[in-house]
Amino acid sequence: MNWLDVLVAVVVSWAALKGFLRGFIVELASLVAMVLGVWAGFHLGQGVATTLGLDPGNTAIAFLVTFVLVVVAVHLLARALTALVDVAQLGLPNKLAGAVLAVLRSAVLLSIALTFGMKWSAGALPSAEVRERSWSYAPLSGIAPMVLPFLEDTQWLKEVKDGSQEVLRHDLP
């Protein structure tokens, strides 16, 4: 067990606790809210900005306002559904499923972080020794390419990598 395994254990344990406390409905709603919020921000942001009397030319503000409105609306709906589930005495299954969903989400996010770390560091982060001795690296490293195949050598990833290396070159003394 090395630092990577400890980090994974802490993140997954924290996710399980948060998922249990929040429940499946709120966990699922938070994922839906993020995706729907980003989509709405890009596609409906200008209309929302115009409706609210904001400058439609300021796309960042239009996106942010739309994103926040969608996230708040989905969150309120999730809280109402959770109250109904609690009344139906399905609170414990809701909480257990929330823990499972949160653990799965954290595994995907950790896998994406490992994938980006390997890509940006040309295979040096985490080191070969850490990867070989880790019990969590092998299972996690296969999730992102399986779930998100577009992470593998896309033009977008190359541009992000080049941009981040450019920023690091300018920020270092």
**d(Cα 72, Cα 65) in Å, to the nearest integer?**
11
Residue 52: count of CB within 10 angstroms of its CB = 13
Higher local confidence (pLDDT), 123 or 116: 116
| Domain contains 155 | yes
Answer yes or no: are the C-beta atoms of 119 and 84 closer than 8 Å.
Answer: no
pLDDT in tens, 51-92: 888 876 777 888 888 899 999 999 999 989 988 888 888 889
| Domain contains 38 | yes
- Quick one: tokens of 69? 């409105």
pLDDT at 50: 85
Residue 107: count of CB within 10 angstroms of its CB = 20
pLDDT at 154: 52
Q: Using CA of residue 134, residue 151, residue 69, residue 25, what is the dihedral sign? A: negative
Total-model pTM: 0.68
pLDDT at 96: 95
pLDDT at 98 over 90: yes
| Domain contains 41 | yes
pLDDT at 8 over 60: yes
pLDDT in tens, 118-170: 877 776 778 888 888 999 998 998 888 787 665 455 554 566 566 666 655 65
pLDDT at 152: 52
Residue 106's domain comprises 3-168
| Domain contains 49 | yes
pLDDT at 88: 81
| Domain contains 68 | yes
| Domain contains 173 | no
| Domain contains 146 | yes
Task: Label residue 46 by pLDDT band (50, 70, 90).
Answer: confident
| Domain contains 161 | yes
- Quick one: tokens of 72? 């708040």
Answer yes or no: are the C-beta atoms of 144 and 115 closer than 8 Å.
Answer: yes
Number of domains within the chain: 1
